[in-house]
Amino acid sequence: MVAGFFRRLILFTVVSFFYSVGCLFAGDVSIMDEINQLKERIAVLEKRVSEQDKCIAMHNSTVQAQQVKISEYETRFSQFEENLHRVSASPMQLMEGLELGVGGTMVLQGADNINYRNGQTQKESRADASYSADVTLAKEFKEAGGRVFLHLEAGQGAGLEDNLTLYSNVNRDAGDSDAKVELTEFWYEQDLFNNKVAATFGKLDPTAYFDQNEVANDETTQFLGRIFRNSPTVEFPDNGAGIRFAYLPVEWLELGYGLFDGSGSWEDIGDSLFNIGQVHFKTSFFNLPGNYRFYGWNNNTNHTKWLDSQKNKEGAYGFGLSFDQKASDVVTFFARYGWQNPEVYNPDITAADGSSYSLEQSWSIGFQVEGKPWGREFDAFALAIGQVTPSDDYKKSNTALSAKPEGHLEAYYKIHVNDHLSISPDFQYIWNPFGKDVTGNTKGVFVGGMRAQVDF
For 311-360, the pLDDT digits (tens) are 999 999 999 999 999 999 999 999 999 999 999 999 999 999 899 999 99
Phi, psi at residue 68, to the nearest 5°?
A: -60, -45
Candidates 421, 424, 435; CA nearest to 359 is 435
> Percent of the chain beyond pLDDT 90?
70
Which pLDDT score, from 0 to 100, does residue 5 have? 45
For residue 76, the surrounding DSSP H or E stretch is helix 2-82
Mean pLDDT for the stretch of residues 139-163: 94
Contact 272, 249 (CB under 8 A): no
Mean pLDDT for the stretch of residues 269-277: 91
Which pLDDT score, from 0 to 100, does residue 91 have? 63
Higher pLDDT, 269 or 318: 318
Question: Which pLDDT band holds residue 85 (cuts at 50, 70, 90)?
Answer: very low
Contact 394, 345 (CB under 8 A): yes
Mean pLDDT for the stretch of residues 446-451: 98
Which pLDDT score, from 0 to 100, does residue 18 have? 47
Which pLDDT score, from 0 to 100, does residue 276 have? 98
Summarize pLDDT for 372-425 with one digit per residue, the tens.
999 999 999 999 999 999 999 999 999 999 999 999 999 999 999 999 999 999
Summarize pLDDT for 186-204 with one digit per residue, the tens.
999 999 999 999 999 999 9
Q: What is the pTM of this model?
A: 0.80
Domain positions in the chain: 83-455
Give the C-alpha separation, 358 to 232, whole Å. 10
Q: Which CATH superfamily is domain 83-455 in?
A: Carbohydrate-selective porin OprB (2.40.160.180)
Mean pLDDT for the stretch of residues 122-127: 84
Mean pLDDT for the stretch of residues 212-224: 97
149-172 in b/e form (b: 16+ CB < 10 A) is bbbbbbbbbbbbbbbbbbbbbbbb
Burial class (CB in 10 A: 0-12, 13-18, 19+), 280: buried
Mean pLDDT for the stretch of residues 249-256: 96
Which pLDDT score, from 0 to 100, does residue 6 have? 47
> Percent of the chain beyond pLDDT 70?
81
Examine the pLDDT at 24 and tell me if it is beyond 50: no
